[in-house]
Structure 1
């Protein structure tokens, strides 16, 4: 008990009264929003898919899948998309981790936490929401996919953000902050955008089997 109290005392922070009141309102609004939303059949049906949505936007899943695609699809035409998306996903992880470490807002109490991937216990901002909206902005503004895929992307990103509330993983302000962060990350990647030559060079640096010419480094000597 003594060790626990010391830990709680260490993690306890002085919060300005105005911010404390806002956070309390956020908790109350989140509970009311979720309770109200579950009155609608489509949203109740969405809740049954929330775990799938959670896994579909997990950072490990996206990074692993992207790295696998980089190895399986050795096509210089895709290097630019692959490298810029990779940098964006890495930046998202760092930004979310940094902000969570600084704010240290506790997650809402949940009963199925053993199903959650990872040890993350802080709530602000929502990493799933930031990642979902970064990916949405990436494939609709930075490196646009055909218009046919835009509606599913919008529906997926919105559903991911909403699922964070329905699963009670985050509060409303956490999700809104995540959406804002993901949008800003897309703007940052737009500024840092790597061209074809740079992307090909980075890919060749990561693996000597992926040079712009399609040759290995051994073939150059």
Structure 2
């Protein structure tokens, strides 16, 4: 049996403060703009809209369904960004191992896996912020589309607290990590030529493998 990890007192105080402030924030919103329950359907929709599995599967599928080079460039880069995000969030959660708020209802979450029982950082926040920032950095978006993208990202972050999925610091940490991931991806962003080579290489290998099927 492993020994229980001892949390340093200053960190314990910070986490306790975070728990109290998160509870106060939720109660404030519920009292002044609520009840929160009437927004639950919308917040659940935001949760689904930024879930990692649909994003990964959908991006992978559209890479091969869409033929335009510019579309494939965006999708391949987003797919890489999603993989980077999953790895980064998984590693940080495994290190910090912070539990979710006591008021979180695990059975209501879309998919629960081992890593999801940990709270810091919010993976939905890292993903939403990373996507909204890196796309804005790489493309000159039409203003209404830019506003919609940033609004979606911000709404996802706030909803994580109001759904009792995360504490305030989990969301703040997710925002910071998401921005850093966006910066990293902007440095690694593949050109149309590179993404076309990646996709064609994969298709050639797949077709070569299929030709040996009996």
Pairwise same-fold verdict (TM > 0.5)? yes
Judged with a 3 Å threshold, the aligned counterparts in structure 2 of structure 1 residues 81 and 33 are, in CA distance, closer, same or farther, namely: same
Contact kept in structure 2, 1:66 and 1:86, CA below 8 Å: yes
Displacement, 1:122? 0.2
How far apart in 2 are the matches of 1:209 and 1:81? 22
How far apart in 2 are the matches of 1:209 and 1:43? 55
Equivalent in 166, 183, 189 of residue 170 of structure 1: 166
Equivalent in 33, 36, 61 of residue 41 of structure 1: 33
Displacement, 1:84? 1.1
* 1:125 match: secondary structure: coil
Displacement, 1:196? 1.6
Equivalent in 92, 96, 103 of residue 99 of structure 1: 92
Equivalent residue number for residue 118 of structure 1: 112
- Bigger mean CA offset, 89-98 vs 40-49: 40-49
TM-score (norm 1): 0.85
How far apart in 2 are the matches of 1:43 and 1:68? 39
Displacement, 1:42? 6.8
Unaligned 5+ residue runs, structure 1?
Answer: 1-5, 211-215
Equivalent residue number for residue 85 of structure 1: 78
Unaligned 5+ residue runs, structure 2?
Answer: 209-214
Displacement, 1:195? 1.3
Equivalent residue number for residue 191 of structure 2: 195
Equivalent residue number for residue 54 of structure 1: 47
Whether 1:205 and 2:211 are equivalent positions in the alignment is no
Displacement, 1:140? 1.4
Contact kept in structure 2, 1:164 and 1:170, CA below 8 Å: yes
Alignment of 1:112-191 (within 5 A): 112-116=105-109, 117-119=111-113, 120-191=116-187
How far apart in 2 are the matches of 1:72 and 1:79? 9
Displacement, 1:108? 1.1
Displacement, 1:205? 2.1
Cα-to-partner distance string for 1:42-62 (whole Å, 9 max, x where unaligned): 783543311111111000011
- Pairwise CA RMSD of aligned residues? 2.1
Displacement, 1:82? 1.2
Displacement, 1:83? 1.3
